[in-house]
Chains A and B, each alone.
Chain A
Amino acid sequence: NAGVTQTPKFQVLKTGQSMTLQCAQDMNHNSMYWYRQDPGMGLRLIYYSASEGTTDKGEVPNGYNVSRLNKREFSLRLESAAPSQTSVYFCASSEGPVSGANVLTFGAGSRLTVL
């Protein structure tokens, strides 16, 4: 009953370093998402993958890349981290598009600090 699993839970980076956040779901969902949550800003969509083999930009994609490795896994990469990327990152999945009344299942979050 794992649902959506994110690793790592916490990470501290220096400006300019790179890192990858990993996400895996075991619900056989087609669609996966990466959101960031910042104080006073709410959750904002970074990238999503409607189905295996596809990825699309969300509201705030600059500075990030994603890979849908297979149906289960969707990773988020920061190539050159900046302090503005300090945030809590959430991975989520759904059976299909949210417009089709599909509910998102969220992971526990990854707290990233860029110094």
Chain B
Amino acid sequence: KQEVTQIPAALSVPEGENLVLNCSFTDSAIYNLQWFRQDPGKGLTSLLLIQSSQREQTSGRLNASLDKSSGRSTLYIAASQPGDSATYLCAVSSSGYALNFGKGTSLLVTP
């Protein structure tokens, strides 16, 4: 069974810092890896999707990388802002319709 782990569980940084969130998975036979954002009391919003054949994807201040062979992905957030405060979830697609989610990293960016 695919296991997805996210480290750290929580992170607090001052505004303006660059930061990295980590995701690891146990089975490298994946189709893609996805990063989501969840605001308190809300649903999930898709941020980035990296296909298994890709090494990275970028969207604005976000950059996600994938090293399939080592079972790792990172989400890099540049010049963090208080509005980036949320929980960030990593999910791996190993079969047709199921995503295996990590437990998330709770990020707080302080002014």
Q: Report which A residues bind B (CB closer than 8 A).
A: 4, 31, 33, 40-45, 48, 50, 56, 58-59, 90, 92, 97-101, 103-109
If A97-B97, A98-B99 are given as contacts, then 18 extra A-B residue pairs at C-beta distance below 8 Å, sorted by A number, are: A4-B43, A42-B89, A42-B101, A43-B91, A43-B99, A45-B99, A48-B97, A50-B96, A56-B97, A98-B31, A98-B97, A99-B95, A99-B97, A104-B46, A104-B99, A106-B43, A106-B44, A109-B43
The 5 closest A-B pairs by CB, nearest first: A106-B43, A99-B31, A43-B101, A97-B96, A106-B44
Interface-centre pick from A41, A42, A50, A97 (highest chain B CB count, 10 A): A42
**CB contact between A90 and one of B43, B98, B103, B104 (< 8 Å): that residue:** B43
B26 to nearest A CB, angstroms?
14
Q: Is the CB of B32 within 8 A of A101?
A: yes
Q: Can you give 9 A-B contacts (C-beta < 8 A)? A: A42-B103, A56-B97, A98-B34, A98-B93, A98-B97, A103-B49, A104-B46, A106-B44, A109-B42
Task: Give the CA-CA distance A81 to B49 in the complex, in Å.
Answer: 36
What's the Cα separation between A50 and B97 when bound, in Å? 7
- How many Å from the CB of B46 to the closest CB on chain A? 5
Contact A108 B98 (CB under 8 A): no
Which residues in B have their C-beta under 8 angstroms from that of A105? 46
Return the contact of A107 from the options B43, B97, B102 (Cβ within 8 A). Answer: B43
Contacting A at CB under 8 A, from B48-70, are 49, 51
Cβ 8 A contact of A99, one of B42, B89, B96: B96
Complex: how many Å from CA A106 to CA B95? 19
Contact residues, B14-60 vs A (CB, 8 A): 31-32, 34, 41-46, 49, 51
For the complex, what is the distance from the CA of A50 to the CA of B46, rounded to whole Å?
Answer: 20
Taken together as a complex, chains A and B put the C-alpha atoms of A108 and B38 apart, in Å, by 10
- Of all chain B residues, the one with the shortest Cβ separation from A58 is B98
Closest residue of chain B to A109, judged by CB? B43
CB distance from A113 to the nearest CB of B (A): 15
